[in-house]
Amino acid sequence: MWVTSAAFNHTSIEAPQLARCQETVTHIRVSAHWLCRKFNAAITRRIQTRLILQQLLRQQNPFDSQGRNYKKSFFKQQWTSQREFRHNRTGPEDEQRCKLVELYEKEATVARLRKELSSPKVLQRTEEELADLIKNIQTGTEEVQLLKEELTEEEGVPIDDKEQRLLLLLWSAKTDLFLQASYKQAETQPITDSQTIGTRLGTKGREKVFQALQDRESTVARALNLYNKRYADYVAEYPDKAPATQYEHPISYDEFSIFPLDDAFWNDGIYYQSKEPWAIDPNVCSGINCVLILSRIQEEFQLIAQELARMVEWAISHYHTLYKSINYLRGRIVQMSIPNTVVPPDYIDEIPFGDGKCSRVLKVTYIKQDLQQRAWEHGTLVQEWSEKVAWLWPRCQPHTNRLALCRWFDLTKLVEQHRARLKKKRGITEVELELDHLQEDTVLDERVNDGEDAAPQFLADRGEVDPLAQINGVPV
């Protein structure tokens, strides 16, 4: 009980430095292995994207008056034009389009219900089901009429434009398809994380993911079939105005399943009905997409570099802060072990500990022991990170930041020295054996008397038992 309390409350030692370190531990849940995997994933994506972009740059640009090939500057200019086009569109226009989509969707629903009412299968329905069908048709017809009246009152809204109707219905189906793709990716994200950043998923977790995907398959299939149908309807009426896409239609479920959310397929030129290259040409859409992905990958490299620098700085600071606190506690033990010496109280004495009957020296001994175990575990973490940090640092850090890497190497040497000193002093070769026992005499400066020889005798004189006198029944 006392050890648990000490482990919980020792964060105030050397406050506020150690307290801040403990907060950092909570917020920085990152490992060098994970950063290396992120870095390699970004490298792979950059190579793939550059290959696609290189293929595009070898093709002739049909929008260039001199017949030159595509250039990255052209794709960037088209992305700027697309952003400006969206920015310049007024809110009322978008609101009108949303109302038109709602109108066309309701009309399509009413038409489907009427077709169902006139089919021979309607004879198989009960009277109650037939009444509900007729009621739904009447309600839908009334809603369509109200929307038409509302849109008719607004100037410049062509309700009966057939091409507009087909395009907006196609856009509506594509929007629903994108929503299903987003849900699908969210459900598969745990598996992706387990493969990229090493998140533990487990058999039950995988079963839940696959079950969720299976449950959603029918919904995705309906959305995909609706999109394929509406795409075919539009192309049948306007074969020379087929929307920009690099995929053959109809799109199969297996093909759709591998679409990433940043694929050029999700270009929304259908909605804006623009005739600009970014809206009508699939190569331009793909080129814009490649330029944006490469930009995001560069940002990812910068974030990895920042995270690596923070991780290294935290590891160095936390290790030294732990030993600074340990040495402070050793000094307290030495002072308390001197007969007839009055040791003024400090913030450690204010730490709640057990039932309150524990002596000051026993409390300090417990807390010091807990910090020593944490220092040993942190040293183990540093050793685990060492190889990955040495590999990743020169690949994502500027040369001017090499001083931090030197400090990291100094830390790894210091950790190795401390551990070798402990093993030699205790005669223990296995790292896993008796962590508490191994850490007992670790100090930054051996010239400082840590008070451990005096503390047991001091406790014996007071009639108390040294909590570290035995570990698992083995005398220390």
CA distance 72 to 76: 6
CA distance 412 to 382: 7
Residue where a domain stops, chosen among 268, 298, 328: 298
Q: Report if residue 116 sits inside a domain.
A: yes
CA distance 61 to 64: 5
Domain range enclosing 157: 58-298
User: Based on the domain organization, do 24 and 94 belong to the same domain?
Assistant: no
| Residue in the structure block whose two tokens are 């607004």 | 154
Nearest partner of 205 among 230, 187, 221, 180, judged by Cα:
187
Q: Is residue 316 exposed (0-12), middle (13-18) or buried (19+ Cβ within 10 Å)?
A: middle
pLDDT average, residue stretch 155-171 = 76
pLDDT, tens digit, 9 for 90 and up, residues 344-396: 888 888 877 777 677 888 888 888 888 988 988 899 899 989 999 999 999 98
Q: Is the peptide bond before 158 cis (omega within 30 degrees of 0)?
A: no
Rg (CA), the chain: 35
User: Based on the domain organization, do 312 and 289 belong to the same domain?
Assistant: no
Residue where a domain stops, chosen among 246, 269, 298: 298
Q: What are phi and psi of 326, to 5 degrees?
A: -60, -45
Q: Is residue 30 exposed (0-12), middle (13-18) or buried (19+ Cβ within 10 Å)?
A: middle
Helices of type H across 338-359: none
Of 358 and 454, the structure prediction assigns the larger pLDDT to 358
First to last CA, the chain: 22
Across-strand partners of 69? Answer: 60
User: Based on the domain organization, do 347 and 420 belong to the same domain?
Assistant: yes
Q: Report if residue 397 sits inside a domain.
A: yes
User: Based on the domain organization, do 307 and 334 belong to the same domain?
Assistant: yes
CA distance 59 to 269: 22
- In the chain, % of residues over pLDDT 90: 22
pLDDT, tens digit, 9 for 90 and up, residues 104-123: 788 788 888 887 777 777 77
Q: Is residue 200 exposed (0-12), middle (13-18) or buried (19+ Cβ within 10 Å)?
A: exposed
Of 98 and 387, the structure prediction assigns the larger pLDDT to 387
The answer, yes or no, to whether residue 253 has pLDDT greater than 80, is yes
Q: How many CB atoms lie within 10 A of CB 190?
A: 18
